[in-house]
Amino acid sequence: MTGTEIALIVIAICIVISIIIFIGSWLIHNKHLRLVKAHSELYNELIKLNKSYNFYSDIKSQYNFYEVCSSKRKLDCLSLYDVLLSKIECNYIYFKNLLICIQKNRQNYELYCKQYNKLSSKINERETKSLKIKFKTFKRIENKLYIQSKLNPQISTTIYIKASYTSPKGRNSYSKYRTFQYTEVVKAYNDYNRLKVQKQEYSYKVKIERAKMSDSLRYSILKRDGFKCQICGATAQEGAKLHVDHIIPVSKGGKTVASNLRTLCDRCNIGKSDKIE
């Protein structure tokens, strides 16, 4: 036998021994794993705990939204936070459900973690001896299972917003983007709701204020103003149609009270529209 042949045989033997050791230790590890899974109170309590919790699983870690601008100037002036607000408005139910699911996951996860942290190993050396496994090995595998089996639900998300403008014929392309963290998304959602309530309250107030204009109030203002337009002096006899007008418009906070009312002909009234004089 040559030296090369001997070297090859030695290498082959080494490889075979390594494979045997590898398979052997893999089998032993699997046996230990099964043993620990079957006898660890910590592991079995954790599995029971995991089964008692239901987390929403269809929450993504990020949602992407895109906005296309019609000009470069619009893109430059665009606030991505306002885009986020408009996306919330357009997909309100979607955002609402998403945030409710995350909120529920967060609450449940907090409870889950408290219970998870209370779990502890109860195995002792005497028991491991009867199971024919080293105490240290049992503890090591048990601890690994305890960490690996902890549930990891989605308790947050981010919203990525990208706005872009492409010049005609696609010569130039501009864009800007921002990723909103979960707390920012919650803030935007709350801001949107606050704005919505304010708008509703405002339109309700306007409605109430307009309803205060009764026939008798209208007549008393016409009479006070001598049945004349307070801008051009036109009268009904001259063919002018007279209106009672709010000096400060209701839409700008004006009240339906005599001091804020005046008689205007329809021409002057149209010219005035919602201007405050």
59: its two tokens: 């929450």
Residue of 42, 123, 141, 229 interacting with Zn ion (CB under 5 A): 229
* Binding status of residue 222 toward Zn ion by CB under 5 A: no
Whole-angstrom distance, CA of residue 168 vs CA of residue 111: 55
4: its two tokens: 């090369």
Distance (Å) of CA 39 to CA 90, 110, 122, 139: 54, 28, 10, 11
* Binding status of residue 268 toward Zn ion by CB under 5 A: yes
Please report how close the Cβ of residue 271 comes to Zn ion at its closest, in angstroms: 8
Please give, one letter per residue, the 3-state secondary structure of 171-196: CCEEEEEEEECHHHHHHHHHHHHHHH
Please report how close the Cβ of residue 266 comes to Zn ion at its closest, in angstroms: 8
Residue of 231, 235, 247, 256 interacting with Zn ion (CB under 5 A): 231
Q: Is 118 buried (19+), middle (13-18) or exposed (0-12) by CB count in 10 A? A: exposed
Please report how close the Cβ of residue 272 comes to Zn ion at its closest, in angstroms: 9
* Binding status of residue 265 toward Zn ion by CB under 5 A: yes
Query: How many residues in the chain?
Result: 277
Q: Please check whether residue 180 is in contact with residue 84, taking contact to mean a CB–CB distance below 8 angstroms.
A: yes
Judged by CB, which is closer to Zn ion: 176, or 267? 267
Judged by CB, which is closer to Zn ion: 8, or 232? 232
* Binding status of residue 232 toward Zn ion by CB under 5 A: yes
Please report how close the Cβ of residue 219 comes to Zn ion at its closest, in angstroms: 19
Give the binding site for Zn ion (CB under 5 A): 229, 231-232, 234, 265, 268
